[in-house]
Amino acid sequence: MKDFKTRIEKYHLHKAHPEKLQFEIYDLHEYRKRSAEKAAVAHSHSYYQIIWFFDNEGTHHVDFESYKIQKNMIFFISKDRVHAFDDNLDINGWLIHFNESFFMHTDVDVFLKHNIFNAQENPCYSIDDETAETASLYMKLMRKELLQRHQFGYEDTIRFSLKSLLINLERVHQKNLQKQLSFTNHYELQFVHYKELVEENYKKGLSVKAYADLLHISSKTLNTITKKMAEKSASQIITDRVILQAKRLLKFTSLQIGEIAFRIGFEDPSYFVKYFKRQVGSAPNHYRNEI
């Protein structure tokens, strides 16, 4: 009989000790041996995670997809994203954990957070040997600073090194996609700010106008931005996030449909069923059975 799961297990970084540095680096091989079965069960975090696999070995599961691990493949796991390791404990690489507070919330930080860690279709990619060598230098610097936490400015050194690492990785990624990397495009920055607000508020049922007001723009302007940046209306961005959470709860928990509806902000379960079916093409129960 299948175990009844009421929630997706969620882990935290130094939650009981906010005075600690909200950042850690782990040897992936040692971490997997220590976490064993726990990390192989679908779970999420309240922090951000970077997983760097050194070798072609095994599979990593993120939300509804499984990815064959390749040499120097890096996964960017955002807050609340569901993922799981496979059963293989004999893997090599690095694991970085850091909390929201480690972002400095400049325009660049907002861009990094929402273009790297919230790439729903592509949460991972492999880097070439030259990029891996550069990334290793940043890893070495951050690990060195972690060993001298009494030194002046060590936290800022780690923070800026992490930011530099992410920028270098994203430069390579964008180059491979033949996209122009820009932190000054006004629409782009407004779009990622909108995505950030949706992430924080999607369970509250806010209207597009309410989000536009929070951004100090009109609903029309917000729709212009989302259509230009994502080829979707502002309301569809909200809907996509609600449906994503519904799918996660349907796949990774045994909750009743009514309870899932309540958890994502629906007071009427029957309306949720119609809403889900309209967006996905099948009723929640049918979707659950299919997956």
- Of 134, 153, 177, which closes a domain? 177
Verify that 84 and 218 share a domain, yes or no. no
- Per-residue pLDDT band for 5 (boundaries 50, 70, 90) equals confident
Verify that 227 and 141 share a domain, yes or no. no
Verify that 192 and 94 share a domain, yes or no. no
Q: What is the pLDDT of residues 222-281, one digit of tens each?
A: 999 999 988 999 999 999 999 999 999 999 999 999 999 999 999 999 999 999 999 999
Verify that 140 and 214 share a domain, yes or no. no
Parallel, antiparallel or unpaired: strands 59-62 and 65-68: antiparallel
- How far apart, in whole angstroms, are the C-alpha atoms of residue 244 and residue 224? 23
Of 19-28, 34-43, 109-118, 241-250, which range is least confident?
A: 109-118
Verify that 15 and 124 share a domain, yes or no. yes
Give the number of other Cβ atoms within 10 Å of residue 4's Cβ: 8
Give backbone dihedrals phi and psi of 64, rounded to 5 degrees, phi first: -110, 10
Residue 159 lies in a domain: yes
Verify that 172 and 191 share a domain, yes or no. no
CATH of the domain at 196: 1.10.10.60
Residue 173 lies in a domain: yes
Domain that holds residue 264: 186-290
Q: What is the pLDDT of residues 44-99, one digit of tens each?
A: 999 999 999 999 989 999 999 999 999 999 999 998 899 999 999 999 999 999 99
State yes or no: pLDDT of 100 exceeds 70: yes
Verify that 163 and 31 share a domain, yes or no. yes
- Per-residue pLDDT band for 18 (boundaries 50, 70, 90) equals confident
Residue 2 lies in a domain: no
Verify that 161 and 190 share a domain, yes or no. no
Verify that 172 and 190 share a domain, yes or no. no
Q: What is the pLDDT of residues 124-151, one digit of tens each?
A: 999 999 999 999 999 999 999 999 988 9
Verify that 169 and 214 share a domain, yes or no. no
Verify that 282 and 161 share a domain, yes or no. no
Number of domains making up the chain = 2
Verify that 16 and 146 share a domain, yes or no. yes
- Of 177, 196, 225, which closes a domain? 177
Residue 4 lies in a domain: no
Residue 281 lies in a domain: yes
CATH of the domain at 149: 2.60.120
Q: Output the pLDDT for position 19.
A: 87
- Of 177, 201, 233, which closes a domain? 177
- How far apart, in whole angstroms, are the C-alpha atoms of residue 23 and residue 103? 11
